[in-house]
Structure 1
Amino acid sequence: MPPLLTDGEIDAALAELPHWRRTGQSLVRTIEAPTFPDAIALVDRVAVVAEEADHHPDIDIRWRKVIFAASTHSAGGITESDLVLARRIDEEARRAGL
């Protein structure tokens, strides 16, 4: 199990992840797509990279808004795995033009 990051490490990482915020023991990003099918397509893209990494975000879909929350539940908080996942989600959002 990866070690939990310190508050300082999380703050430093968030400075490089401007679309993300810390909410409790998770990193959270909301993305609004132009259409519902675009939002679902983004979820599909993220599902592929999450499965490849064997690290899965919590995903909340509200019409065109998709909320991603990354947390390492087995460790009880935020780890390097969550930062990697956040970067991959950002990459997929860019690829999708969001």
Structure 2
Amino acid sequence: MAEKLDDAARAKAVASLADSGWEDVQGRDAIHKTFVFKNFTRAFGWMTQVAIVAEKMDHHPEWSNVYKTVEVTLATHDVGGLSELDVTLAQKMDRLAQ
């Protein structure tokens, strides 16, 4: 089972993701990023790829899609905040978006 990141590990993780656009969610122990693609097909294709990865990880994002924009929030509900699962999924999302 995942464990909630302690303050030091959380700060390090968020800092490592900040360069690629991930940000803290105000009032919640979560991170957020807006992905913008060339068009709807690319956005939906990326979401499909991420869905397969997330299912294999048994860790699913909160997300929404409007045309070419996908809003993503990551947190591990079982632990009430960020875990290594969120960091790993964020990194995989970034790689798939390239």
Superposition TM-score tier, normalisation by shorter sequence: 0.7 to 0.9
Residue matched to 1:21:
23
- Count of aligned pairs between the two proteins: 94
Give 1:8 shift.
Answer: 2.7
What are the ranges of 5 or more consecutive residues in structure 2 without an aligned counterpart? Answer: none
Match of 1:35 in 2: 39
Stretches of structure 1 lacking an aligned partner (at least 5 in a row): none
Aligned-partner residue type, residue 16 of structure 1: S
> What is residue 70 of structure 2 aligned with on the other side?
66
Q: For 1:7 and 1:28, how far apart are their aligned partners in 2?
A: 18
1:93 aligns with 2:97: yes
Counting only pairs closer than 5 Å after superposition, residues 2-21 of structure 1 correspond to structure 2 as 2-17=2-17, 18=19, 19-21=21-23
Instruction: Find the aligned partners of 2:40 and 2:50 in 1 and give their Cα distance.
Output: 16
> What is the TM-score when the length of structure 2 is the normalising length?
0.88
Q: Which deviates more from structure 2 when the two are superposed, residues 9-18 or residues 27-36?
A: 9-18
AA aligned opposite 2:24: R
1:45 aligned partner, one-letter code: Q
**SS, match of residue 16 in structure 1:** helix
Match of 1:28, SS state, is: strand
C-alpha displacement of 1:57:
0.5
Please identify runs of 4+ aligned residues in structure 1 that moved more than 3 A: none
User: What is the TM-score normalised by the length of structure 1?
Assistant: 0.88
